[in-house]
Amino acid sequence: MLLTAALLGGCPAPQLPDAGEPDADVHVQDAGEDAGSIDGGGVDAGVPDAGAPDAGELADAGPGFDAGPMPFPDNGVWLTRNYVKYSSFYDPAVVNDLALRMSTQYQVRNWFVNSDRTGSDGRLIEPQVHMVDFLENVHTWEKAHGYHFRIFAWVSGATTGPTAMDLTRPEIRRAVVEECQKLLSPTVPQSYVAGTTRPFDGVQIDFEPSGMDQVRFDALLQLMEELRAGLDEVGRSDALLSFAAHKLGTTNQYQWSPAFYYEMAKRVDVLASMSYNSGSTTGAEYRAWTRNQLQSVLRAVSGQAWTDGAHPPPSRPVTVLFGMPSYPPNASHEPSAENIEYGAQGLRDGINALKLTNDPSLAYLGGGAVYLHTNGINDDNYARWSTEWWWFGHYWLQRW
């Protein structure tokens, strides 16, 4: 995700938002530095700051809004790099609060933790040194509560510009594979997680832009195949692979065609669709857009978008998470229109439409994924417990 250059500086105090993350429309290649310090106030524990919704708010759901509980609980969240960088974020009390909320209130099992970005050589530029502290604190909570999150090392990188990787070059792809090996295996030489008893469950690749160019996309497909083989090499055949996919479309390089979705789905375990930066100017427009995205993406992944008999369903299990935006405005993102309130309703509309036709594509839906969470407290345009997460619980999960 591309944000302003002002977010890409050093680490002032208080820490600035760690902006980066998928869609060069929005996931930044340099995840910026650092998002709102938890030191600025106490961690807001307990139930969501909801207040009961008023009748008007509930009625505003609009036609087609399914009042039933959310049947797709395998949700996700992109986490700022602060969680593997600053003690105020990987502190056990902070991690415990995050884990409790995500497991019990929001049903968020998949965490994409901003681990670093690559340079033009495919190597991580500034791998964070506190990944083990974060992982061990999560593990302590998991053991105490009999729960297991799926935590992904989220690796971003550029395919254009001064730090662009040429992924058609085998040595660049191999460098990416080796960096991911060091992120997921505690025993390889120069491991970034040496000593952990709870390694990452997988890796998410977020290399942008990745649309429109067939040669570049074919290199990405080859990278994902080589990455799976490379993780097998270091004893991580259990590792999950994820890719941050552009929104569906065919007009620019920050969009993926149905064919791109279909091909990548055959090579990963989790596709995270960056369903934002739509350019919508009203909530109704964004709601309609997300409905179409969900239907079209799932039909592409399943092969149902074609009737030629040449697109069978993926042979390995894959699920799709749909991004729910909470980040500062940009030229393609107006937060008053493009937000979790309207996006969640649009995704539900899409679910209902697929249900009406008994479309088997719905089986590939994993859930929603919030982009981006910093500390849940600061009024910094990132996901807040009191607002965006409340919308998530109300409009998506329908838990209150």
Name residue 115's amino acid: S
Average pLDDT for the chain: 86
Q: Check residue 62 and give its pLDDT.
A: 37
d(CA 303, CA 185): 34
d(CA 19, CA 17): 5
Q: Check residue 56 and give its pLDDT.
A: 35
Q: Which of 10-19, 209-218, 322-331 has the lowest mean pLDDT?
A: 10-19
- Work out the average pLDDT over 11-26: 36
Burial (CB < 10 A; 0-12, 13-18, 19+), residue 165, is: buried
Contact 373/366 with Cβ under 8 angstroms?
no
Q: Check residue 73 and give its pLDDT.
A: 65
Phi/psi at 105 (nearest 5 deg)?
-90, -40
Q: What is the pLDDT of residues 78-110, one digit of tens each?
A: 999 999 999 999 999 999 999 999 999 999 999
Contact 80/18 with Cβ under 8 angstroms?
yes
Q: Which of 20-24, 232-236, 296-300 has the lowest mean pLDDT?
A: 20-24
Task: Provide the percentage of residues in the chain whose pLDDT is more than 90.
Answer: 80
Q: What is the pLDDT of residues 146-184, one digit of tens each?
A: 999 999 999 999 999 999 999 999 999 999 999 999 999
CATH superfamily to which 73-396 belongs: Glycosidases (3.20.20.80)
Q: Check residue 155 and give its pLDDT.
A: 98
Label residue 67 by pLDDT band (50, 70, 90): very low
- Closest by CA to 273, choosing from 367, 174, 152, 351, is 367
- Work out the average pLDDT over 69-83: 85
- Work out the average pLDDT over 109-126: 98
Contact 74/108 with Cβ under 8 angstroms?
no
Task: Provide the percentage of residues in the chain whose pLDDT is more than 70.
Answer: 82
pTM: 0.86
Q: Which of 38-52, 237-251, 270-284 has the lowest mean pLDDT?
A: 38-52
- Closest by CA to 118, choosing from 153, 78, 155, is 155
Domain residue ranges of the chain, discontinuous segments joined by +: 73-396
- Work out the average pLDDT over 191-200: 98
